[in-house]
């Protein structure tokens, strides 16, 4: 993956231009990620906080959850009993609530729910299983706040999409009540980085760079076998998981990760829905201020969350 925001002096994207071509034009202006230090890439990603601000009617509250802090995002008229636990992307080494606040807020609005965006620990400072332990701790914390599992949905993008599945598996293995559903946006679920779409879609994917993804996998794994199920949930036993919604773009390097996840989940008896969007880039939802297809995808996720966790008692 690469950082998705250009330098401040670039001026960011022109919000009057909409559509995938405008997104691709913006991405083409970004410096090569291999030319940036890790600190620079982290800072660049978080510029989204200024370029894609959260609407003023969404309340933002920082909280100290167990192990890692988090942010509550509360849109107007959100139900207090329905919660989206959001796990941001960034290859387990970059990203935070600041880089993904606008996307999580949009998903919460579409679902008529609150969102808790977790600031989980990042590699290489905190390798596997730190992010997973933080996600499990956040889920337990939400339960302690009185949120019923049937009113909870876990969602994430890219690495956060893989972490979503790993968290569901970990909760099941620990005998905890599972949430109503999981949502995986362009999920990274196979840290062997060996699926055919890595080569097939390399030239057409402007965001996921196979060599960089492999470096991120090494940083997160820190010597652990990449087929470890809770690090690469494509290899996990998925039996008994709640319904899953999986979104992916047709031209993504991670297309086979997403399709493989849906296939393995269905084989395990899980109600898994795979939606492949033509021509869309990795986590196109993130570009919703300038991409109509992003809003369409966000609305679809909101409807899914409402159907699974939001019906009236």
Answer yes or no: is 1 within a domain. Answer: no
Percentage of the residues of the chain whose pLDDT score is greater than 70: 94
- Report which secondary-structure segment, H or E, holds 204: none
252 flagged as catalytic: yes
User: What is the average pLDDT across 233-241?
Assistant: 98
* pLDDT on residue 65: 83
Q: Which residues contact 146 (CB under 8 A, 6 or more apart)?
A: none
In which band, very low, low, confident or very high, does the pLDDT at 4 lie, cut at 50, 70 and 90? low
> Rounded to an integer, what distance in angstroms lies between the CA atom of residue 225 and that of residue 218?
10
Tens of pLDDT, residue by residue over 88-121, are 999 999 999 999 999 999 999 999 999 999 999 9
> Rounded to an integer, what distance in angstroms lies between the CA atom of residue 290 and that of residue 136?
34
Residue 192: phi and psi, rounded to 5, are: -75, -20
Residue 288 near residue 261 (C-beta atoms within 8 A): no
Answer yes or no: is 76 within a domain. Answer: yes
Beta strands 70-74 and 152-157: pairing type? unpaired
CATH of the domain at 103: 3.40.50.1820
| From 99, 282, 285, 293, active-site residue | 282
In which band, very low, low, confident or very high, does the pLDDT at 29 lie, cut at 50, 70 and 90? confident
| From 46, 71, 133, 252, active-site residue | 252
Tens of pLDDT, residue by residue over 49-73, are 888 999 999 999 999 988 899 999 9
| Mean per-residue pLDDT of the chain | 93
Answer yes or no: is 2 within a domain. Answer: no
Q: 304, 151, 167, 186: which is closest to 241 by C-alpha?
A: 167
Find out whether the peptide bond into 124 is cis, omega within 30 degrees of 0.
yes
158 flagged as catalytic: yes
Task: DSSP for 95-121, please give it.
Answer: --HHHHHHHHHHHHHHHTEEEEEE---
Range of the domain at 251: 8-309
Range with lowest mean pLDDT among 7-21, 233-247, 265-279: 7-21
* pLDDT on residue 17: 59
Answer yes or no: is 203 within a domain. Answer: yes
| From 96, 158, 186, 232, active-site residue | 158
Beta strands 70-74 and 113-118: pairing type? antiparallel
pLDDT over threshold 60, residue 12: no
User: What is the average pLDDT across 147-156?
Assistant: 98
Helices (H), the chain: 20-28, 38-45, 48-51, 97-111, 130-144, 159-173, 197-200, 210-221, 255-267, 292-309
In which band, very low, low, confident or very high, does the pLDDT at 7 lie, cut at 50, 70 and 90? very low
In which band, very low, low, confident or very high, does the pLDDT at 9 lie, cut at 50, 70 and 90? very low
pTM above 0.85, yes or no: yes
* pLDDT on residue 10: 43
> Rounded to an integer, what distance in angstroms lies between the CA atom of residue 258 and that of residue 273?
10
pLDDT over threshold 50, residue 223: yes
Answer yes or no: is 209 within a domain. Answer: yes
User: What is the average pLDDT across 283-307?
Assistant: 96
Domain count, the chain: 1
* pLDDT on residue 1: 54
Answer yes or no: is 3 within a domain. Answer: no
* pLDDT on residue 312: 65
């Amino acid at each position: 993956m690469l950082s998705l925001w250009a330098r401040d002096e670039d001026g960011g994207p022109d919000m009057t231009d909409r559509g995938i071509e405008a997104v691709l034009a913006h991405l083409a202006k970004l410096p090569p990620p291999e030319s940036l230090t890790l600190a620079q890439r982290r800072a660049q990603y978080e510029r989204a906080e200024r370029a894609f601000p959260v609407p003023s009617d969404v309340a933002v509250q920082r909280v100290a959850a167990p192990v890692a802090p988090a942010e509550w995002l509360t849109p107007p008229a959100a139900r207090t009993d329905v919660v989206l636990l959001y796990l941001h992307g960034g290859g387990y080494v970059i990203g935070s609530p600041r880089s993904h606040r606008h996307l999580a807020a949009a998903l919460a609005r579409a679902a008529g729910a609150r969102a808790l965006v977790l600031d989980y620990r990042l590699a290489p400072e905190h390798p596997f299983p730190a992010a997973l332990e933080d996600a499990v701790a956040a889920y337990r914390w939400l339960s302690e706040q009185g949120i019923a599992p049937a009113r909870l949905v876990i969602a994430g993008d890219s690495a956060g999409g893989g972490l979503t599945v790993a968290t569901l598996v970990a909760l099941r293995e620990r005998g905890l009540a599972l949430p109503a559903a999981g949502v995986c946006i362009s999920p990274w679920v196979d840290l062997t980085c060996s699926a055919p779409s890595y080569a097939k879609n390399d030239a057409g994917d402007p965001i996921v760079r196979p060599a960089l993804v492999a470096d991120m996998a090494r940083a997160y794994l820190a010597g652990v076998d990449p087929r470890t199920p809770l690090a690469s949930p494509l290899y996990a036993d998925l039996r008994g998981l709640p319904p899953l919604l999986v979104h992916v773009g047709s031209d993504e390097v991670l297309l086979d990760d997403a399709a493989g996840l849906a296939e393995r989940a269905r084989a395990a008896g899980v109600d898994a829905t795979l939606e492949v969007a033509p021509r869309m880039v990795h986590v196109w939802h993130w570009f919703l201020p300038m991409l109509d297809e992003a809003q369409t995808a966000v609305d679809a996720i909101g409807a899914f969350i409402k159907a699974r966790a939001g019906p009236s008692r």
